[in-house]
Amino acid sequence: MRRLIAFQGERGAFGEEAVCAVWPNDVEPVPLPTFAAVVRAVAEGCVTGGVLPVGNSIAGVVQESVDALTASDSVQVVGETVVPITQCFMAPAGARIDALRSIASHPAALAQCGSFLRRHARIKVVSAADTAGAAREVAAANDPRHAAIAGRGAAVRYGLRILAEGIEDASDNNTRFVIIAPAARGRQLLSGRWRLFHAVRGATVVDADDPRRIREATGELLRVLLQRNAVTGDHVVSALFSTTSDLTSDFSARAARDLGWTDTPLMCMSEIPVPGALPRCIRVMLHMQLEHPRASLSPVYLRGAEALRLDLSSGVGS
């Protein structure tokens, strides 16, 4: 029997992509108009489970969704998944950007595309209940003066022409969805497919052995790691920091304390002084308590540390 999994929005929404990412087969995505409706349908047993977006790497917390989740004690979070988000600018056939009068999308999607919208500030921005719903309404009106921002799946489903793709402010844009089930059913919904602990790595470089620069660069690295993976410091169980032997003026882990990680176990160590190694380099490994696939975690390399992992950008092995 196919399981029914609810998501907020119309067909073609990123919520539907989240459903398909977790269950590629044997489920029926069920579109519902609001986050509260998703929670209610799960609580009342009308569907097997549901997905709710709780955080975006650019726009931050999806507060309306979080509020709907925390308002109910009849559902529980049983897992997570992170969906890469590519926003597309779409309109009916024959539309021209210079003739457009409005752009519609969900507020969270609009927040992800701030630079694009500022470049086209003359076009009126309209808030919609969801991205795919905005695309459907634009398609139904068939007026080339009106456009929407949504995913490629919505453009295909509603027959809209993509005028620009990848208009989000960061190419690694992603949204974290939680998977919910009735409180009584718990983890049965996921059938043992999820692991609890994961690790993600990062590295950065400083231009001098200076305590202020070490803390600044390390703090930046930690903030970007959390943002890019749509998690918070509360997910971090412990952290290992290492520095090359030419950095001895301060502990890089102090930056984590500066961020408020007062109860998180931290450890600093020195890298093996291998000849030819990248100088003045700070590395970190975060151990996190999560419930989404390891493949969804993104390592971060900043300030020239990208040289450590050329395979992430060029396909060449490290």
* pLDDT single digits (tens) 244-279: 999 999 999 999 998 888 889 999 999 988 888 899
The reply to whether CATH 3.40.190.10 applies to domain 88-165 is: yes
CATH 3.30.1330.40 residue window(s) in the chain: 197-314
29 pLDDT exceeds 70?
yes
CA angle 154, 232, 112 (to 5 degrees): 30
Q: Are 76 and 179 in contact (CB under 8 A)?
A: no
Encode pLDDT of 41-82 as tens digits. 999 999 999 999 988 988 888 889 999 998 988 998 888 888
Judged by average pLDDT, the poorest of 58-62, 153-157, 222-226, 281-285 is 58-62
Question: Which pLDDT score is estimated for 61?
Answer: 85
194 pLDDT exceeds 60?
no
314 pLDDT exceeds 50?
no
The DSSP line for 158-192 is HTPEEEEE--SSSTT-EEEEEEEEETTTGGGGGTT
The pTM is what?
0.63
Name residue 101's amino acid. Answer: R
* Three-state secondary structure call for residue 90: strand
Neighbours of 223 (CB within 10 A): 14
Only one residue has tokens 């020239």, namely 304
Helix, strand and coil in the chain, % to nearest 5: 30, 30, 40
CATH, range 3-82+173-190: 3.40.190.10
Q: Report the alpha-carbon distance of residue 17 to residue 87 in Å, rounded.
A: 13
Mean pLDDT of 167-181: 90
Q: In what order do the strands lie in the sheet with 236-243?
A: 266-270, 236-243, 281-289, 197-205, 300-301
The reply to whether CATH 3.30.420.40 applies to domain 197-314 is: no
Q: Tokens at residue 85, please?
A: 């988000």
Question: Which pLDDT score is estimated for 216?
Answer: 94
115 pLDDT exceeds 80?
yes
CATH 3.40.190.10 residue window(s) in the chain: 3-82+173-190, 88-165
Q: Which residues, at least 6 apart from 214, have a Cβ–Cβ distance to it below 8 Å?
A: 206, 243, 247, 249, 250, 252, 255, 282
